[in-house]
Amino acid sequence: MTGSYSVSQTFTLTHAKHLASKVVSDLYQCCKFYGEPSESQIEKYQEELIVMLAGGYVKEYEFGFKKSGNRILSWQYRVSPSGDLVGGADNRSGGIYARADVSGATHFNFMSYSQAWFDLNAAGKGAVNAKHPIERSVGELPNDGNGYWATDRTYGSGGIAIERKTFRPL
């Protein structure tokens, strides 16, 4: 006798909070090691990230330090486009690189949007943006500086995975 079953998961606000907490933990470590962003700014980023993840509006999220238009140190989070939980992994947050020289560098925080965001009309985008305190403007990510990318963590919840890559100096 054989049998089969399937498991269905629905991504909820609770899942969005779990994933956002992983990124926010990394932001707090960044603050501790490099002095930015501030704790009050991190709280605002957390509110935004929860709203945007819950709606399925985030494609990539990146923060770090740049100088002369080039990355010095950066952490990039990519939401799995298929919604698959890569390898079932949910790594611990943290473990961010703590020895970069960011003197004279500027902190940045950037969000790339998913197709779900672009499918919203202006009123829909306004309604979503009214749910969090961050006002973003159009911009471009810095270029890669003198360093390399390494994939070092995967965070998962509710069938959605976020892969973390770190750009670190040579």
Q: What would the pLDDT profile of 64-117 be if each residue is shown by its tens digit?
A: 999 999 999 999 999 875 544 344 466 667 788 999 999 999 999 999 999 999
**144 contact partners, CB below 8 Å, separation of at least 6:** 70, 71, 167
User: Containing H/E element for 110?
Assistant: strand 106-113
Using DSSP, state whether 72 is helix, strand or coil: strand
For residue 115, what are the β-bridge partners? none
Residue 165 pLDDT > 70, yes or no?
Answer: yes
Domain ranges of the chain: 13-131+140-169
Q: What tokens appear for 74 in the block?
A: 């950066």
Residue 52 burial (CB count, 10 A): 25
**57 contact partners, CB below 8 Å, separation of at least 6:** 113, 114, 116, 117, 120, 128
- Overall average pLDDT of the 33-59 stretch: 96
Q: What tokens appear for 70 in the block?
A: 């080039």
For the entire predicted model, the pTM comes to 0.85
Identify which of 7, 3, 5, 13 has the alpha carbon closest to the alpha carbon of residue 157.
13
Residue 64 burial (CB count, 10 A): 28
Distances (CA, A) of 19 to 104, 133, 140, 143: 31, 19, 24, 27
Q: Which amino acid is at 48?
A: E
Q: What would the pLDDT profile of 102-154 be if each residue is shown by its tens digit?
A: 999 999 999 999 999 999 999 999 999 999 999 999 999 999 999 999 998 88
Tell which CATH architecture fits domain 13-131+140-169: 2-Layer Sandwich (3.30)
Residue 137 burial (CB count, 10 A): 4
**74 contact partners, CB below 8 Å, separation of at least 6:** 62, 63, 64, 65, 66, 142, 166, 167
How, if at all, do strands 147-157 and 58-67 pair?
unpaired
The whole-number pLDDT of residue 5 equals 35
